[in-house]
Chains A and B, each alone.
Chain A
Amino acid sequence: MPDHAIVIGINRYPYLQSLQGAVSDAHDFHSWVVDPNGGSVPAGNATVIVSTDYQEDYRPMTGDIDQAFRQLVSLPVNSNGYVGDRLYVYTSGHGIAPDADDSALLTADAATDCLGNHVAARAYSNTIRTNGLFEQVILFMDCCRDTADDFPRRPAPFSIRSTGLKSESYFGFATDWDSKARETQINGQTRGLFTTALMAGLRSGAIDGDQLDNYVKSYIRTLANGNNQDPKFFSSAKTNFHFSVSAPPFQVPIELVFSAGRFGTTMQIYDSTFTPIRGMSTVASSTPWNVQLPCGLYGLATPGGPPIQLFQVVGHYQQIIRVA
């Protein structure tokens, strides 16, 4: 059965500080979600709502986004009782967290004294899940989870006739409760840290929900460069969620730079079971050693010797490893 997706990105907030990377992030997620090697959602089933598509700077508003959800929940069910196998919801923009388990996207017309203009995407996704419209509901939110105490909370505004069927959920939030989600410059483009790590994980090859959780946490730690951003993933069964199942493993470019004390020594890269990887050895010199490796944990050693350095490979950009 066809999957569906709702992808939202808001850069422009006339009453708040505008963002720079949210729309790019949404477009990037959309490109993955409709990719046959990615989310495999038919292009016609993926709704994209981004602020750059509106002339008015205060849109999209809650009504614009609610409309997409209302259309989705009014779709007829298929022969097995579900509307679809899998629903992806992705949001990127300013956000707030009404409580420790929740997260909400602020719509473009939100202001510090008008935080009621938000879409409680988790509540929306939960409503869809608890009513069994999709077999799996997946939500990713690259938004801050600042707490705000003095704002009206919007529940999911649509009514759904329950299918009575079981549904599972996998929710990924950019950051911990009461914490910021950040943007950063990557290759000259402003992007959300969470989405950058998420997309690298989703494009790293076939990956399940548990691996994606750990991958994103590992990569974001590198990207955050000392800033604290701790993504949160919630699911009853993370390993039941499989992503990019037909994608080949992504080879990450690695540059190993040796210290002078290692020059002239033969160095071998080992996999995590300490088995030498064929073709991955060199004599260390002042010239950096460039290799490509799929994401994972590796060791570096002299042949037959104990590991002298362990390293992690994540991400999509060149990684430089300095060997002491």
Chain B
Amino acid sequence: MITLSIKTDSPFTEVEVVDQHFRTVWTGIGSADLPLPIGIYKVRLGTGADAHEELVAATAEMSHETVGVSPRKASSGKQLLSSAAPMIMFCSTSHEYHHYPSFKILNGDPIARGSGSRIFLFLRQPDESKSLVPPQGISLLTPTGREFYSLELGTTDFENRYSAFHIEVDPGTYALSVPAPDGGSVCIAVPAIRGWCTQLYLVPYMAPVQFESFVDVSQISMFMRDPSFEKHVSEDDYNTMFQEQLYWLEMARKLFARFGTVASPETLFIEEQLPELNSMLQNKFGNPMLGIFAAHLLAPQKLISQWLLSEVIGNLRGLVGDIPDVAALQLLNPESRESRDVLDAPPILKASYDLALNKQPSDMSSGNGWITDVADRQVIASPYFAWRKIARSYELDDAAIKAARAIMESRAAISVSNLAGLLNCHPVESWLLAWFFDIGAPEPFPWEFAEQMFARVVELSATAPEANPYIEPLVKESRLPWPTLITHIDRLRSRFLKITHIRKQQPSTPMPSFPAQRASLGHHIRYRQA
């Protein structure tokens, strides 16, 4: 036997070792020493979208040696990452001519738009062969969706390809809105925390079809720092200090970008990586995002004790207050359950939303403002909780009503997906229609029954959550809060009422009772007209 030593420099790197027959002999995350028979092996390393593969020979002469395998490294020994963050030591696309301006702008006085907390945004074009497209449509929004501050008002240097702003604002949750290739906008939550500067780093990408420049929200680097930090270091120190923190932060973001919520067995950590993760927890005092990421990584896998978790969350509360992400993490501590709605504003991370949904679905049965409004517009491919700013109109026009009535009167067959298209349904309403009525092939649709059933579900929503058999299966399967769902159910009822109201003069079809087993079955019971 020889020892194959895998050195990954990161606890987040996925590692697979394959033998000559393409059989997996080991899989895990992070560095490991593997006793293996003599032979040729293939080692595959992956972090986010970065992948590396290498063949290694473990020969008899190496019986007391180790074989080192590591991904592409920076001179510092760390794995090189592609990142928007100012990581000049570990990032292949970072340039000093981007870091110095960001340092200077951060070191200067912010533009006053409130007081108590700061937000800094820096957009840079790292590719020297491309020019910086004038930033349009990148804005901070208020909780009501009103534009608060635009990057167009900030400092732009086309020669050095960057644009930035640094503003002082009242504490609260804002949203960053960036244009999307489809003409709409995508938002993520930006908490402005008293005593902290929330920093956002963005890089553009070229949409393949439109040849225009956009920002992929999943690649945004976001973290918080004490605003006095930049004032106390030199420009040279600025490029070296906190590099390690940013490295771990970006590795964690990439992991969340890859897996969404990190609760998969594929991402289990082994104890050897705990020092790095504990280091993230310790460094949260200088950068609370590290603590939020690390707590999300460690706690679901029970790699830290409840006592330590309580302390970490207590520290985070002390640092940044009860922002939604910290309140969601608090749900992991069974002894101190939150009694309030933890998501009274959108969280930074999708993992926090999922945690709240999984741990306290009852919270999702009450109305809680902003989150309810945006939950049905979520953008799924992001480590951040991201949503579309503008939803297209889903009004039911007269022509559609007329066409639907014709189909109803003639008892013509129509599939549920075509019906959803005909009625210009919102995606959530289409999903609800399929959940309640999809029977596969086109059949005559039970128009009146549908209207009555949706009306009945709306009625049930006024009762106690325990008496409503729809809440649990619908919330679980849709992963949307109940208020969002009931809003759409009510809209569906309204749509069907517009189509069937002429027939209301006549006695309607008797309302069948709801099958008692629906909730216990936990999946689709499809209703069909007799």
Partners in one complex: yes
Chain A interface (Cβ within 8 Å of chain B)? 62-63, 66-67, 70, 98-100, 114, 116-117, 147, 149-155, 157-159, 176-179, 207, 210-215, 217-218, 221, 228, 230, 271-274, 295-299, 306-307, 310-312
Apart from A151-B430, A154-B417, A307-B59: 12 A-B pairs, beta carbons within 8 A: A66-B440, A70-B441, A100-B260, A210-B24, A218-B22, A272-B19, A297-B55, A299-B57, A306-B59, A310-B55, A312-B42, A312-B55
**Complex Cα–Cα for A147 and B218 (A):** 12
Chain A nearest CB: distance from B301 CB in Å? 18
**Which of B23, B40, B421, B438 makes the CB contact (< 8 A) with A310?**
B40
Q: Decide if B55 touches A274 in the complex (CB within 8 Å).
A: no
Among B144-152, B279-287, B364-372, B378-386, the one that faces the other chain is: B378-386
Q: Which residues of B contact A66 (CB under 8 A)?
A: 440-441
Q: Decide if A63 touches B442 in the complex (CB within 8 Å).
A: yes
Chain B interface (Cβ within 8 Å of chain A)? 16, 18-24, 37-42, 44, 46, 49, 51, 53, 55-57, 59-61, 258-260, 377-381, 388, 391-392, 415-417, 420-421, 425, 427, 429-431, 433-435, 438-442, 524, 526
Q: Decide if A150 touches B20 in the complex (CB within 8 Å).
A: no
Q: Decide if B57 touches A100 in the complex (CB within 8 Å).
A: no
Q: Decide if B42 touches A274 in the complex (CB within 8 Å).
A: no
18 A/B residue pairs, CB under 8 Å, sorted by A: A62-B415, A62-B417, A70-B441, A98-B380, A100-B260, A152-B430, A155-B435, A158-B440, A159-B439, A177-B381, A207-B22, A214-B22, A230-B49, A272-B39, A272-B40, A273-B37, A299-B57, A307-B40
**Complex Cα–Cα for A105 and B355 (A):** 30
- What are the 6 closest A-B residue pairs judged by CB atoms, nearest first? A152-B430, A272-B20, A157-B440, A147-B381, A214-B22, A310-B55
Chain A residue at smallest Cβ distance from B209: A17
Q: Decide if A155 touches B524 in the complex (CB within 8 Å).
A: yes
Chain B nearest CB: distance from A308 CB in Å? 10
Q: Which residues of A contact B46 (CB under 8 A)?
A: 230
Q: Decide if A230 touches B51 in the complex (CB within 8 Å).
A: yes
Chain B residue at smallest Cβ distance from A309: B55
Q: Decide if A215 touches B22 in the complex (CB within 8 Å).
A: yes
Chain B residue at smallest Cβ distance from A178: B381
Interface centre among B56, B380, B429 (most CB of A within 10 A): B380
Chain B nearest CB: distance from A67 CB in Å? 7
Q: Decide if A149 touches B379 in the complex (CB within 8 Å).
A: yes
Dominant secondary structure at the B interface: mixed
**Complex Cα–Cα for A156 and B392 (A):** 27
Chain B nearest CB: distance from A146 CB in Å? 9
**Complex Cα–Cα for A257 and B234 (A):** 55
**Which of B49, B56, B61, B430 makes the CB contact (< 8 A) with A116?**
B430
Report if A228-B51 is in contact (Cβ < 8 Å); known contacts: A178-B381, A214-B24, A218-B42.
Answer: yes
Chain B nearest CB: distance from A321 CB in Å? 12
Report if A228-B49 is in contact (Cβ < 8 Å); known contacts: A152-B431, A155-B434, A310-B57.
Answer: yes
**Which of B44, B61, B434, B441 makes the CB contact (< 8 A) with A154?**
B434
Q: Decide if A100 touches B20 in the complex (CB within 8 Å).
A: no
Q: Decide if B259 touches A100 in the complex (CB within 8 Å).
A: yes
**Complex Cα–Cα for A219 and B97 (A):** 41
Chain A residue at smallest Cβ distance from B391: A150
Report if A114-B40 is in contact (Cβ < 8 Å); known contacts: A62-B415, A158-B440, A297-B55.
Answer: no
Interface centre among A212, A217, A271 (most CB of B within 10 A): A217
**Which of A152, A177, A214, A306 makes the CB contact (< 8 A) with B425?**
A152
Q: Which residues of A contact B427 (CB under 8 A)?
A: 149-153
Chain B residue at smallest Cβ distance from A145: B381
**Which of B23, B440, B526 makes the CB contact (< 8 A) with A210?**
B23
Chain B nearest CB: distance from A296 CB in Å? 5
**Complex Cα–Cα for A253 and B23 (A):** 22
**Which of B53, B388, B425 makes the CB contact (< 8 A) with A149?**
B388
Report if A295-B22 is in contact (Cβ < 8 Å); known contacts: A116-B430, A149-B388, A312-B55.
Answer: yes
**Complex Cα–Cα for A307 and B62 (A):** 12
Report if A306-B61 is in contact (Cβ < 8 Å); known contacts: A70-B441, A157-B440, A272-B19.
Answer: yes
Report if A67-B22 is in contact (Cβ < 8 Å); known contacts: A155-B435, A299-B57.
Answer: no
Chain A residue at smallest Cβ distance from B425: A152
**Complex Cα–Cα for A214 and B20 (A):** 11
Report if A153-B18 is in contact (Cβ < 8 Å); known contacts: A66-B441, A272-B40.
Answer: no
Q: Decide if B388 touches A297 in the complex (CB within 8 Å).
A: no
**Complex Cα–Cα for A117 and B415 (A):** 11
**Complex Cα–Cα for A179 and B49 (A):** 10
Chain B residue at smallest Cβ distance from A221: B53
Q: Decide if A297 touches B53 in the complex (CB within 8 Å).
A: no
Q: Decide if A70 touches B20 in the complex (CB within 8 Å).
A: no
Q: Decide if B434 touches A152 in the complex (CB within 8 Å).
A: yes
Q: Which residues of B contact A307 (CB under 8 A)?
A: 40, 57, 59
**Complex Cα–Cα for A311 and B388 (A):** 48
**Complex Cα–Cα for A215 and B51 (A):** 16
Q: Decide if A273 touches B388 in the complex (CB within 8 Å).
A: no
Q: Decide if A147 touches B380 in the complex (CB within 8 Å).
A: yes
